[in-house]
Amino acid sequence: MKKPSLFRVERRPVVPGHVVVLVSILAIFAALVAAGIFFEAYGISAIRAYQLIAKGALGSKLGLAETVRRAIPLLLCGVGLTIAFRALFWNIGAEGQLLLGAVAAAGVALFSGLPDVLLLPAMFIAGFLAGALWGLIPAVLKARLGINDVITTLMMNYIAIYLVEWLIHGPWRGPSMRGFAYTDKFPSAAILPTISWTRIHWPTLLLGLVVAVLAYVLIARTRAGFEIRVVGENPEAARFAGISAFKTTLLVMIISGGLAGLAGVGEVAGIHRMLLGPTRISMGYGYTAIIVAWLARRNPLAVIVTSLLFGIIMSGGDVIRVSLGLPFQVINLFNGLILFFLIGSELLMHYRISFSFRRQ
Amino acid sequence: MGWETWFIVTLSRTLAYGTPLLLATLGEIYTERSGVLNLGVEGMMIMGAYAAFSTAYTTGSPWLGIVAGALVGGAFSLIHAFASITLKANQVISGLSLTMLGLGLSGVLGRGWEGRPLPASIPEITAPGLSKIPFLGPILFEGQNLIVYFSILLVVVMWYILYRTRIGIAVRAVGENPAAADSLGISVNKVRYLCTIVGGILAGMAGGYLSVAYRPAWTEGMTGGMGWIVIALTIFAFWNPAIGMLGAYLFAALYHLSFRLQPWVSPELLKAMPYAFAIIVLIAISRGTLHKKMGAPAALTLPYSRGEE
Amino acid sequence: MKTRFVLIAIVLLALVFGLSTLTVAKEYIPGSSLKVGFIYVGPIGDLGWTYAHDEARRICEDVFPWLETVYVESVPEGEEGLFIDKLILEEDCDVVFTTSFGFMDGTLDAAQRHPDKIFAHCSGFKRNANMMTYMADFYQIYYLNGLMAGALTKSHKVAYVGAFPIPEVKRHMDAFAIGVQEVDPEAELHVRWIYEWFSPTAAKEATEALIADGCDVFAFTEDSPTVVQVAAESGLPSFGHYSPMYNFGPEHVVSGQIAHWEAIYLDFLAKVYAGVYTARNLAEVNYWWLLKEGAVEIGAKPGMLINPVHEDELRAVTVNDPILGTINVWDLVMKRLEQMSDASMVVDPFQGPVYDRKLNLRVPQGLRMSEFELTTMEWAVEGIVGPWPGEP
């Protein structure tokens, strides 16, 4: 670092909004070029692959509908994560919180015996509470005992996975499923309506959009939001100002876990209509939402856009699987590449690079 | 069957299944000790498994396969090192990305390698005299392979380096207090790079063990979440190689026993146990002197920049 | 800035709300070129279930010049509806095969959504005017494999590594156990479950656990050759599952089950091409194909019915059969195979009386099990040792 070099790297004090958007788009474009090299190596024309993706994910009704459908859980989880990340709580556990929401919804749908009109609202409330509870455990552990949040939230995901496995193989296995590991189908009053023939369960989508706006208002306009930001940006100052880090941590994780729980309710009540294997309930939405929230620069409103972007990637991945017969793991390749290019772009964003020998 | 044979078989299986866990855990311990959290273990392992299998299949030498797995794992970890050390990116994001990239890349490259039996896998050896030692003989010296012994040797070496040499002091200093380490003339970034690469090499080797020794064949996604168990084991080990061995073997024994004990114990409960254990361990050591001695490296996940901010 | 995000979202939503109908494609005209889509639950490289379906797909493409196929692998259950729509709307498929029990409801929904298209669902029980069901089942072959296992076991402990405790796997275990006990009435069938369709590590440790418990012959249901490899390493005989696994243990793979899904696919597609089956007459069509239809084969690999390495051992063990008299196991397997391959099917593994291990009479004297009973059976026969989730 002390060595003289051809170029100097200076830190930008504040990164203007347009730079963030521009550089992010450039990074994604660069990642697509890199993925294109893999396509070519695989003997597939990269241009044709991208045409297919664009047509499949945006240019066809079916693809567009799927893009939006995939964006719903990403939106709910993503908005919650922006709030947790604001308070510098690294919630890697949205996946598990989502699963707990699904479990609670299934429990209410199948066993509560509530009247039809109350069923769906009760499922959403139970889902929120279950997700929040799953999120509160690591929150308390961090706030009271200083235990690393990344690790506890990650471990809680696996416990949630095996909880679901145990339920569907054991006590909740549906008598009508001929011995297969699913619960019974939900009663029709516990199933969310969809838009026409699509699989867009619009009540959850609406909920997601409302929540995104509310979360934005919370962060930008309220006392609690101010406290969250102070705790995240300057814990020392927060302590002097008498802000309770404990309460703030609990609050952000109730919101973050609860919203992921709502996403879980939407998936089982809107798509699957039963509780089934954990990897089928979620397909990693909780992990992808981390990227969604991170790419949105922790802005809840921007999550609307970034969740759609990853909706496009997911449904675009489906297209090339069908049309080009590529292995399904190609989606992970895409996600991984895009992420690393975005990480790389951080450098471009936060640092101004000047090629000279001048000393300032 | 007598209790003695019962123990012998369980412990012998423990060594065989525990070895890949141990290798990768040792690597992650060093990585985290230097202050870098690498959640990409699963990605590095699966890349190692693919590289090892394809190399062993092409060259006919399983040992070359292991070497290739280690090299590819190390190369893969460089991506994380560059992102999280040089670019100071968020280590959580970078690690998750590495896992995705590894699963994706190995899935695409590995297409067509499935269903091929390996012509030669890492041989199991039985030491003629030693295997006759009562009890220990059949566990340690019958039907194990050289990588099992190598990993045990590695525990001793890596423990010694970490706690008894200047290198180890440097690694721990960088992970606990990088500013202080820097002021003592230790290159924080260099130490972190090296430790991350050590983690990658060992994860890649662990993947290679799976595809050319443990079950010699390639199948997509064959690491099946082992990388995440390694993350849990690293905590369980209190970032200490010796306890890491204990943890890896304990988990391996539990895994094997989940099949032996199936008539009596729910398999889901046994599978969830290492993760629950990891959390319980963190709670247990969160207070008092234990925390200082056995807690997480203080600078874990924190990038280091000199005199900035 | 923020209002712009909201605007973009609103525009995109409006677009979606605006989509009201899907264009309905034309119905298939018999005799024209046919496009068929396959939806697989696993990767085609699994060397198990999906691999076998994909082999059949390729055979169909080779046999019928008028046939074009497309497939999607590793489709998670719950996502089948989407991929069916894609195959029909974007790939113009006329026929769609879905190959997992979990795809049942999604396939039925899609069949109702696309009434002019033809659907076929594997291993389920729901049908529609344009949706048939099909299954190639192995239970007879497991019984034949069981006869050989009964002859080969020295410890009187035979092992079975099972994927999930569901009726299909339980049926196969029961048939296998019946075969084992016909030759060796003393023998037990030790069972372990791995709760995965595909998990090499779980299969390996389960096999090691069974070896440690003294088992010396192995059968399994899991989509990889792991059990065969592990047994061979210990010098123990095993039976391959789903695909030819001879190569993974040439000295130790005695025989096994090989699926020939193409038997069903070729028959069905030829009838669609000829106009026999249309999108209006499938409500009663159900292929439940066994040995006699050629949908399944017994063998270590195609053409090798029993590995010659084991011939002497099998010939050395004899059984007293009430009808066949004293007969060695090699001949018994050949005789039973011949009987079950014959259209009249004079023998069946589940020939009454059959008792479960709680000593309830399950199949009365002189009766057999119906297809419904076979596909919903949850009980374990006598001689099975180990956990049995969902046992009635």
pLDDT of residue A53: 84
Q: How confident is the model at residue A183 (pLDDT cuts 50, 70, 90)?
A: very high
Which positions in chain A touch B104 (Cβ < 8 Å)?
329-336
> Is position C248 within any domain?
yes
Which positions in chain B touch A294 (Cβ < 8 Å)?
90, 93
pLDDT of residue C269: 97
Query: Does C45 score more than 80 pLDDT?
Result: no
Which positions in chain B touch A343 (Cβ < 8 Å)?
83, 87, 89-90, 93-94, 97
Inter-chain residue contact A90 with B92, CB threshold 8 Å: yes
pLDDT tens-digit readout, B123-170? 888 878 787 888 787 878 887 889 999 999 999 999 999 999 999 999
Residues C245 and C313 grouped into a single domain:
yes
pLDDT tens-digit readout, C336-370? 999 999 887 778 999 889 999 999 999 999 889 99
The CA distance from A41 to A53, in Å, is 18
Inter-chain residue contact A343 with B287, CB threshold 8 Å: no
Terminal C-alpha separation, chain C: 63
Q: Which chains lie within 8 Å of chain B at 3 or more CB pairs, if any?
A: A, C
pLDDT of residue C30: 92
Provide the number of structural domains found in chain A: 1
State chain A's mean pLDDT as an integer.
Answer: 88
Residue showing tokens 């199936």:
B262
Query: Which of the pair, B224 or B160, is modelled with greater confidence?
Result: B160
Inter-chain residue contact C45 with B220, CB threshold 8 Å: yes
pLDDT of residue A351: 67
**Structural domain of residue C232, as residue ranges?**
139-258+298-385
CB atoms within 10 A of CB B79: 22
The alpha-carbon radius of gyration of chain C (Å, integer) is 23
What backbone phi and psi angles, to 5 degrees, belong to A211?
A: -60, -40
> Is position C315 within any domain?
yes
Inter-chain residue contact B235 with A346, CB threshold 8 Å: no
Give which of C208, C245, C301, C384 to mutate to test B binding, by max B Cβ within 10 Å: C208
Whether C24 contacts C116, CB under 8 Å: yes
> Is position A212 within any domain?
no
Looking at residues B71-96, what average pLDDT do you find? 92
pLDDT of residue B286: 76
Residues C102 and C187 grouped into a single domain:
no
Dihedral angle computed from the Cα positions of residues B113, B116, B122 and B128, in that order, rounded to the nearest 10 degrees: 170
Tell whether A166 is within 8 A of chain B (Cβ): yes
Inter-chain residue contact C386 with B114, CB threshold 8 Å: no
pLDDT tens-digit readout, C246-265? 988 999 999 999 999 999 99
Residues C348 and C376 grouped into a single domain:
yes
Provide the number of structural domains found in chain C: 2
> Is position B58 within any domain?
yes
Looking at residues C78-97, what average pLDDT do you find? 90
Looking at residues C92-107, what average pLDDT do you find? 93
Interface size A-C, in CB pairs within 8 Å, comes to: 120
Interface size A-B, in CB pairs within 8 Å, comes to: 137
* CATH for C346: 3.40.50.2300
Residues C63 and C109 grouped into a single domain:
yes
CB atoms within 10 A of CB A275: 29
> Is position C360 within any domain?
yes
Closest listed residue to residue B151, CA positions, set B45, B19, B15, B31: B19
pLDDT of residue A271: 92
C354 alpha carbon, distance to own chain's centre: 23
Sign of CA dihedral B174, B248, B216, C224: negative
Q: How confident is the model at residue B284 (pLDDT cuts 50, 70, 90)?
A: confident
Inter-chain residue contact B263 with C387, CB threshold 8 Å: yes
Q: Residue count of chain B, please give it.
A: 309
> Is position A322 within any domain?
no
Query: Which of the pair, B40 or B270, is modelled with greater confidence?
Result: B40
Q: Which tokens is A138 given? A: 């690591």
The amino acid that residue A290 corresponds to is I
pLDDT of residue C21: 45
pLDDT tens-digit readout, A283-293? 889 988 998 99
Inter-chain residue contact C199 with B224, CB threshold 8 Å: yes
Give the β-pairing of C286-289 and C131-136: parallel
Query: Does C15 score more than 70 pLDDT?
Result: no
pLDDT tens-digit readout, A170-182? 899 888 887 788 9
pLDDT of residue A11: 67
Inter-chain residue contact C390 with A56, CB threshold 8 Å: no
Full DSSP string of C207-256 = HHHHHHTT--EEEE--SSSHHHHHHHHTT--EEE-SS--GGG-TTTEEEE
Residues C114 and C149 grouped into a single domain:
no
> Is position B301 within any domain?
no
> Is position C219 within any domain?
yes
Closest listed residue to residue C310, CA positions, set C299, C319, C296: C299
Which positions in chain A touch B92 (Cβ < 8 Å)?
90, 92, 150, 290
Inter-chain residue contact B286 with A330, CB threshold 8 Å: no
Listed by number, the residues of chain C in 343-372 with a beta carbon closer than 8 Å to a beta carbon of chain A are none
Provide the number of structural domains found in chain B: 1
State chain B's mean pLDDT as an integer.
Answer: 88
Inter-chain residue contact C208 with B256, CB threshold 8 Å: yes
Which positions in chain B touch C195 (Cβ < 8 Å)?
267-268
Residues C196 and C323 grouped into a single domain:
yes
The amino acid that residue A350 corresponds to is H
Residues C143 and C235 grouped into a single domain:
yes
> Is position B179 within any domain?
yes
Looking at residues A231-249, what average pLDDT do you find? 89
Residue A109 half-sphere exposure toward CB, CA atoms < 13 A = 30
> Is position C23 within any domain?
no
* CATH for B22: 1.10.3470
Query: Which of the pair, C289 or A317, is modelled with greater confidence?
Result: C289
pLDDT of residue C108: 94
**C392/chain A closest Cα distance in angstroms:** 11
Looking at residues A54-74, what average pLDDT do you find? 88
Closest listed residue to residue B39, CA positions, set B88, B96, B105: B96
Residues C172 and C191 grouped into a single domain:
yes
Which positions in chain A touch B89 (Cβ < 8 Å)?
343, 346
Percent of chain B whose predicted confidence (pLDDT) is above 90: 53
- φ/ψ region of C155 (left if φ > 0, alpha if ψ in -120 to 50, else beta) reads alpha
Kindly state the helix (H) or strand (E) to which residue C288 belongs, with its residue range.
strand C286-289
Residues C228 and C369 grouped into a single domain:
yes
Residues C246 and C191 grouped into a single domain:
yes
**Structural domain of residue B71, as residue ranges?**
3-116+134-294
Inter-chain residue contact A327 with C43, CB threshold 8 Å: yes
Q: How confident is the model at residue B308 (pLDDT cuts 50, 70, 90)?
A: very low
pLDDT of residue C73: 87
The CA distance from C83 to C50, in Å, is 16
Whether B118 contacts B216, CB under 8 Å: yes
Q: How confident is the model at residue A360 (pLDDT cuts 50, 70, 90)?
A: very low
> Is position C391 within any domain?
no
The CA distance from C138 to C122, in Å, is 14
Inter-chain residue contact B101 with A154, CB threshold 8 Å: no
The CA distance from A27 to A346, in Å, is 9
Inter-chain residue contact C5 with A304, CB threshold 8 Å: yes
Interface size B-C, in CB pairs within 8 Å, comes to: 88
> Is position A57 within any domain?
no
Whether C142 contacts C291, CB under 8 Å: no
Looking at residues C117-134, what average pLDDT do you find? 94
Which of these ranges, B71-75, B234-238, C58-62, C133-137, has the smallest mean pLDDT?
B234-238
Query: Does C19 score more than 50 pLDDT?
Result: no
Q: Which chains lie within 8 Å of chain C at 3 or more CB pairs, if any?
A: A, B
Q: How confident is the model at residue A12 (pLDDT cuts 50, 70, 90)?
A: low
Which positions in chain A touch B79 (Cβ < 8 Å)?
340
Inter-chain residue contact C204 with B215, CB threshold 8 Å: yes
Tell whether A152 is within 8 A of chain B (Cβ): yes
> Is position A51 within any domain?
no
Whether A301 contacts A212, CB under 8 Å: yes
**C309/chain A closest Cα distance in angstroms:** 38
> Is position C380 within any domain?
yes
Listed by number, the residues of chain A in 105-124 with a beta carbon closer than 8 Å to a beta carbon of chain B are none
Residues C216 and C320 grouped into a single domain:
yes
Give which of B121, B219, B269 to mutate to test C binding, by max C Cβ within 10 Å: B219
Query: Does C16 score more than 60 pLDDT?
Result: no
Looking at residues C125-148, what average pLDDT do you find? 95
- Which residue from A155, A339, A344 is facing B87, i.e. has the nearest CB? A344
Which positions in chain C touch A170 (Cβ < 8 Å)?
389
> Is position A235 within any domain?
yes
Residue A211 half-sphere exposure toward CB, CA atoms < 13 A = 28
Query: Does C25 score more than 60 pLDDT?
Result: no
Residues C308 and C339 grouped into a single domain:
yes
Whether A98 contacts A163, CB under 8 Å: no
C353 cis-preceded (ω within 30 degrees of 0): yes
Q: Which tokens is C119 given? A: 């659907």
Tell whether C391 is within 8 A of chain B (Cβ): no
List helix spans (H) across chain C: 2-18, 49-63, 80-85, 104-113, 139-152, 167-183, 200-212, 226-233, 261-273, 311-316, 329-341, 371-376
Query: Which of the pair, C60 or C322, is modelled with greater confidence?
Result: C60
pLDDT tens-digit readout, A31-59? 889 888 888 887 888 888 888 888 878 88
Q: How confident is the model at residue A333 (pLDDT cuts 50, 70, 90)?
A: confident
Q: Please name the residue of chain B whose CA is at the shortest distance from the CA of residue C228.
A: B215
The alpha-carbon radius of gyration of chain A (Å, integer) is 22
**Structural domain of residue A231, as residue ranges?**
75-200+221-295
